[in-house]
Structures are given as C-alpha cells and as structure tokens.
Amino acid sequence: TLPSSIERLVNLLSLNLESNELSGAIPSTVAGLVMLTSLQLANNKLGGPIPSELGLLSTLETMDLSQNQFGNATLPSELSQLTRLDQMLIASSTIAGPLPT
C-alpha cells in the first residue's frame, strides 16, 4: 500500500514502484507530489477508484497504471487537466469508460 504521507516528497520528480505487489487504492495525497513528471505504478495489485486528484499533477508527463486491478473504475475527467502528459499506459487494468477529453 502507498502511504498517505507520500505527499511529503514535494521535490520528487519520478516515482517508479512497478512490480512491487502493492495493493489498495492510490491515495489522493499523491497530488502533493507537485514536481512529479513520471508516475510508474504498473504491474501491481492496486484497486479502487483512480483518484481525481491525479489531475492536479500539472508537471506529469508519463503515467503508467497498466496491469492493476481497478475493477472497472473509470478515468476521472480531471485527468484532462494534465496538459503535459504525453504518455499514459492503462493496458490490462480493467478500466472502463471513455478517455477524458
């Protein structure tokens, strides 16, 4: 599980936690990582709703949520605010619904 205290890492540029068997939901406090350009959470057992607060990561360029267990969660419309995002991977993550525009 990702701790909610992760928001204290305000100068973090890249977070790669791929293939760590993480479970539970992505905490909304990840929005506190205001300098983050890369969020790599692929190949874990993350579930639950995808937090709309991810849309606050205005410097995010790459996000990989592939191979998780989101249980037909939808992508929050707030992700459309990620104007610097040029790569988003969601394969094999049981995400349903349209892509945010």
| Residue-level pLDDT at 1 | 84
Q: Which residue has the higher pLDDT, 97 or 52?
A: 52
Catalogue all structural domains in the chain, each as residue range(s) with its CATH number: 4-89 (3.80.10.10)
- What confidence tier does 18 reach under pLDDT thresholds 50, 70, 90? very high
CA dist., res. 54 & res. 69, Å (int):
18
- Classify the phi-psi angles of 72: left when phi > 0, otherwise alpha if psi is within -120 to 50, otherwise beta: left
CA dist., res. 47 & res. 26, Å (int):
8
- What confidence tier does 38 reach under pLDDT thresholds 50, 70, 90? very high
- What confidence tier does 100 reach under pLDDT thresholds 50, 70, 90? confident
pLDDT tens per residue across span 51-84: 999 999 999 999 999 999 998 899 999 999 999 9
CA dist., res. 36 & res. 65, Å (int):
15
Q: What is the mean pLDDT of the chain?
A: 94
SS3 15: strand
**DSSP run (H or E) holding 63:** strand 62-64
- Whole-angstrom CA distances from 10 to 29, 33, 39, 70, 88 are 11, 5, 14, 26, 22
